[in-house]
């Protein structure tokens, strides 16, 4: 797509005029939700059929990603809006007399309009998903500070730019978003303009922290780590299984953070026991050396150990050139780590990790808040019901008031 301030402003005004966010909210009460946090395409199609012609076309294009015939599009959209969408390349011609998007949707989220990739579970998706908007995005959104006044924010792995834009909207002095994928950087930049925040947010294409100048310093950092890759090579311990990107970042990240900096890191599907994950212990230990305290909000992931191992095997097979050993050897090593004496595993956990620099009294400890019903200070590890196994607790079950944190000393 192309970036044009005037054309994106035209689009924003039209979405406001059409009460796009309100209509989306109204539809949501009739929708079935997928495990990714998006409505199922079947229920969305049924709901959109009930809309008036202009909203029907708008939602078919930008909430479902369908192709719509030329006559219907030109009849529904004002000429200025149609021309803006064509010039922005947000409407592209189909094989016949139809128009469709370049596999992008416009999703209302937390008072923002977000251009995001069509989720791969939708039959209308025609390209790889580079700017996903799923449940993990919503989780991080709910963990952000209500006010970001006075903060210089670094958002690592920005994707669509949601979290960076929210920090800017909540008063951050400046926000830098780093994203490896070039197309995602372009979409995030467009989202900044679409929401009138381009003067406060800068998105850069960057492999991890490479695009930062040595002199740059931030006092708040965000990183919603991708669920893949889970390992960076043949693991020698359980701590190395979970999220390879996070460990790579922690080596260089502290140098860019101010003495009183804080931040939020998210890590998904990490192996552990009773709300303690082995990766969390390793992360906290490494950060403690740089003067950070660590507080984690931990919930059981819906995935079974075997399902995660299947995902890991698929990942290794796809990236086999990155590993010295073959798939079978790596998987054998992983299974050996899971059977280690003295390191029990009762499943996988999702984690929101709050870090803060300069809290000397808390340094050397991990405070863990289990986001499940507590038994003797620990999360329960009884077998889940079949219904529970298909739902990720993190985004539907709120923290339980009065649950005391588990204190763990870093070795």
Rounded Cα gap, residues 350 and 276, in angstroms: 11
3-state secondary structure of 154: strand
Task: State the pLDDT at residue 35.
Answer: 72
| Residues 6+ positions from 176 with CB-CB distance below 8 Å | 153, 154, 155, 164, 201, 202, 203, 204, 212, 216, 218
Position 405 pLDDT exceeds 80: no
| Residues 6+ positions from 333 with CB-CB distance below 8 Å | 234, 235, 325
Residue after which a domain boundary falls, among 86, 103, 120: 103
- Residues 110-125: what's their mean pLDDT? 94
Domain total for the chain?
A: 2
35: left (phi over 0), alpha (psi -120 to 50) or beta: alpha
Give per-residue pLDDT as tens, 237-296: 888 888 778 888 888 999 999 999 999 999 988 899 998 899 999 999 999 999 999 999
The pairing of beta strand 152-156 with beta strand 218-224? parallel
Rounded Cα gap, residues 235 and 343, in angstroms: 15
Cβ(225)–Cβ(243) below 8 Å: yes
Is residue 116 one of the residues assigned to a domain? Answer: no
Stated pTM of the model: 0.87
Give per-residue pLDDT as tens, 300-330: 988 889 999 998 898 888 876 666 668 888 8
Is residue 110 one of the residues assigned to a domain? Answer: no
Is residue 152 one of the residues assigned to a domain? Answer: yes
Provide the pLDDT confidence category of residue 402 given band limits of 50, 70 and 90: very low
| Co-location of 315 and 227 in the same domain | yes
The residue range of the domain holding 311 is: 135-409
Residue 161's alpha-carbon distances to 44, 145, 195, 210, 397, in angstroms, are: 25, 16, 11, 18, 26
| CATH at residue 199 | 3.40.50.150
Mean pLDDT of the chain: 86
Residue after which a domain boundary falls, among 81, 103, 125: 103
| Co-location of 168 and 41 in the same domain | no
Of the candidates 156, 107, 155, 109, which has an alpha carbon nearest to the alpha carbon of residue 129? 107
Structure tokens belonging to residue 340: 């280690």
């Amino acid at each position: 797509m192309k970036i044009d301030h005037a054309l994106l402003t035209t689009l924003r005004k039209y979405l406001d005029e059409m009460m796009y966010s309100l209509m989306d909210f109204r539809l949501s009460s009739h929708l079935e939700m997928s495990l990714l946090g998006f409505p199922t395409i079947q229920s969305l199609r049924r709901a959109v059929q009930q809309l008036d012609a202009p909203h029907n076309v708008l939602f078919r294009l930008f909430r479902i990603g369908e192709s719509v015939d030329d006559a219907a599009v030109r009849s529904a959209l004002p000429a200025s809006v149609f021309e803006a969408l064509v010039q922005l390349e947000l409407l592209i011609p189909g094989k016949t007399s139809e128009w469709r998007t370049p596999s992008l949707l416009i999703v209302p989220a937390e008072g923002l309009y977000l251009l995001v990739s069509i989720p791969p579970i939708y039959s209308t998706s025609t390209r790889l998903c580079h700017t996903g908007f799923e449940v993990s995005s919503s989780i991080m959104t709910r963990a952000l500070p209500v006010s970001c006044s006075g903060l210089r924010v670094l958002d690592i792995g920005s994707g669509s730019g949601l979290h960076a834009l929210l920090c800017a909207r909540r008063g951050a002095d400046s926000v830098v978003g780093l994203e490896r994928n070039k197309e995602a950087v372009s979409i995030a930049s467009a989202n900044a303009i679409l929401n009138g925040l381009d003067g406060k947010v800068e998105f850069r294409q960057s492999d991890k922290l490479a695009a930062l100048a040595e002199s740059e310093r931030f006092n708040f950092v965000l990183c919603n780590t991708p669920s893949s890759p889970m390992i960076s090579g043949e693991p020698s311990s359980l701590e190395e299984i979970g999220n390879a990107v996070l460990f790579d970042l922690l080596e260089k990240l502290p140098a860019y953070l101010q003495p009183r900096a804080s931040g939020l890191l998210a890590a998904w599907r990490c192996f552990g026991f009773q709300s303690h994950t082995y990766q969390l212990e390793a992360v906290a230990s490494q950060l403690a050396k740089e003067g950070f305290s660590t507080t984690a909000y931990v919930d059981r992931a819906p995935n079974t150990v075997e399902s995660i191992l299947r995902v890991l095997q698929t990942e290794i097979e796809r990236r086999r050139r990155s590993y010295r050993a073959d798939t079978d050897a790596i998987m054998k090593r992983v299974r050996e780590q899971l059977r280690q004496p003295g390191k029990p595993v009762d499943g996988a956990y999702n984690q929101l990790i709050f870090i803060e620099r300069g809290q000397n009294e808390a340094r050397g400890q991990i405070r863990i808040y289990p986001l499940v019903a507590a038994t003797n200070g620990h999360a329960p590890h009884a077998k889940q019901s079949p219904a529970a196994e298909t739902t990720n607790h993190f985004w539907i079950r709120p923290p339980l008031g009065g649950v005391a944190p588990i204190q763990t000393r870093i070795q």
